[in-house]
Each structure stands twice: as C-alpha cells, then as structure tokens.
Amino acid sequence: MTEFDRKQGQRVLDAIADFQQSRDQSDLWSHVHRHLSHFGVGGIWYGFEIQPERGKKLSEMKQAFMLASLDPAYVDAKMNDLLIDDDYCAQMARMGTKPILWNDIPPSDRLTAAERRSFEIDADYKMISGVTMPSRFACGLGTSSFACHADGMSGGEFERMWGENGDAIQSIASAFDICLREGHMGEVYSLSSREREVLLWLTRGLRPQRIASRLSLHEGTVEKHIESARRKLKAATVTQAVATAVIFRLIAP
C-alpha cells in the first residue's frame, strides 16, 4: 500500500470512528461535513426511501427522508417545482449503483424539457461540480443517495479530484449512510414505547386481538397504536410500517 493510500485509509477510519461516537443526528451531520471538507466538499444532499417502486416519482414516495446543506434557495427551487423528479442524476441514482458525476450528462437534445429546466436551475445556482452516490440496503427494501458539491471547482477540476479521492469519499458517505439509518432513526421516527411494543408483537405473527390480550388492553386501543405508528413512519400499509421499524432498528424482532 502506498503512503497516499494509507493516508486516505486513515481518513476513512477516522471518519467512521467519529460517526460511531456521534451523540445524535445533528452531531453525525456535522462530522460528515468536517471529514468531506478535506476534499473540498462544501454542500451535501442526502435522502432515502423505503420500498421504492421503479418508475414512481420521488414526490410520490411517502417514505422519503431528506437532509440538505446546499443553498436553501436552490433546494426550494428543485423541490417546489418538483424538478427533483426530473433531475437526471437523481433518476440515475434511483435506478443504478454507480456514482454519477454531475458533468457526466447526456447531450441536451436527448433530454426532456423538464430535465433541461432542472439543469438550468443547476447552472443558475452553479451546482455543476459534484457527484451523486446511490446505495441499496435491507435486501432491496430501501434505497438512498448521497450527493456532494464542491463549490469553487469547475466540472473538470472536480472530476480530477474524484479520480484521486473517489474511493475515500464513497467510503465516508457509505459509513454515514449506515450510521444514520442504523443508529439515529429513532430521532426521526419518534415512536412511543407502546407503539414499538405492538409493532414488535406484529412481527411475531400476533393479531391485534391477541396483542390486546397479552398487554391487557382493549383491541381498539391496540389498533389505535398500530395506526399511529403507521402514520409516524409514513407507511402506506401496516406491513410497510413494520418493515420500516425493523430496517431502522426501531424494534428488534
């Protein structure tokens, strides 16, 4: 291993150690920015979905979660007009597993009008130097993407930086993704202890009537807890709610 490789490897290990010791989601978010700043990365857009359906628009995914430290006006422009649905890199991230450099896009005559408008907003806010990294988790039940922007770099400069540091950046982004999903989602989905309890019994095959008997509750009360948990988890069905709770270790069957 070269000295350069050892240096990059140590940066990744240092980042992972900090992530694992993060007190909360905010602390973790701060750590990932600090570690990626070594590579000139200044802004991040991160999000994930549970049980994605191919071809479904991002705006229709009720299980979406997002964090962003990019220019708020840029984020609003992409989200308010639903142009995130037509963002080429976001679409490719949802369908693939390889990083997509923001300057590695098809010719404009191969894009739809909405895709061209999305790129125009990127250009207006100088979001031209960055990368979107997709990942899959929980046997395909979820998908996430981690996009980072290097302000002040041209597309070519970012591409050269990525060629030298891409492996380390991907490793840090992946470690952040895992630590957030497996260690801090209780802060996002604030289920009560009773809601967690009834979901846990559902994973063991009990119906509401049996759960009510075990917990000395009325069946209607159990059903209210189940429905409340489903809404908090932004799940379309109870099955999705249980899957979400298991994936993010909100319950441990």
- 154, 212, 243, 244 from 221: Cα distances, Å: 58, 8, 22, 22
253 inside domain:
no
If asked whether residues 180 and 64 sit together in one domain, one would say yes
Judged by DSSP in three states, 234 sits in coil
Q: Of 11-20, 193-202, 222-231, 234-243, give the lowest mean pLDDT range.
A: 234-243
For 225, residues 6+ apart whose C-beta sits below 8 A from its C-beta are 192, 194, 195, 198
Phi/psi for 217 (5° steps) reads: -125, 165
d(CA 237, CA 227) in angstroms, rounded, equals 9
Contact 224, 158 (CB under 8 A): no
If asked whether residues 28 and 94 sit together in one domain, one would say yes
98 inside domain:
yes
pLDDT of 84 reads 72
If asked whether residues 148 and 64 sit together in one domain, one would say yes
pLDDT of 138 reads 65
d(CA 168, CA 8) in angstroms, rounded, equals 6
If asked whether residues 180 and 193 sit together in one domain, one would say no
83 inside domain:
yes
How many domains is the chain partitioned into structurally? 2
252 inside domain:
no
238 inside domain:
yes
If asked whether residues 193 and 233 sit together in one domain, one would say yes
195 inside domain:
yes
174 inside domain:
yes
Q: Enter the tokens of residue 193.
A: 């202890």
Condensed to tens digits (0 to 9), the pLDDT of residues 88-131 reads: 888 788 777 789 999 887 777 788 888 888 888 998 999 989 99
Look at residues 186, 208, 238 and tell me which one is the last residue of a structural domain: 186
If asked whether residues 43 and 124 sit together in one domain, one would say yes
Condensed to tens digits (0 to 9), the pLDDT of residues 41-82 reads: 999 999 887 654 444 444 444 446 789 999 999 998 888 766
Domain of residue 235 covers: 189-247
If asked whether residues 218 and 135 sit together in one domain, one would say no
126 inside domain:
yes
> 152 falls in which pLDDT band (50, 70, 90)?
confident
**CATH number for 8:** 3.30.450.80
If asked whether residues 213 and 101 sit together in one domain, one would say no
If asked whether residues 220 and 101 sit together in one domain, one would say no
Look at residues 170, 186, 202 and tell me which one is the last residue of a structural domain: 186
d(CA 233, CA 192) in angstroms, rounded, equals 12
If asked whether residues 8 and 133 sit together in one domain, one would say yes
d(CA 45, CA 100) in angstroms, rounded, equals 14
Give the single-character DSSP code of 146: E
If asked whether residues 181 and 218 sit together in one domain, one would say no
Look at residues 133, 155, 186 and tell me which one is the last residue of a structural domain: 186
Condensed to tens digits (0 to 9), the pLDDT of residues 170-179 reads: 999 999 999 9
If asked whether residues 147 and 118 sit together in one domain, one would say yes
**CATH number for 197:** 1.10.10.10
pTM above 0.75, yes or no: yes
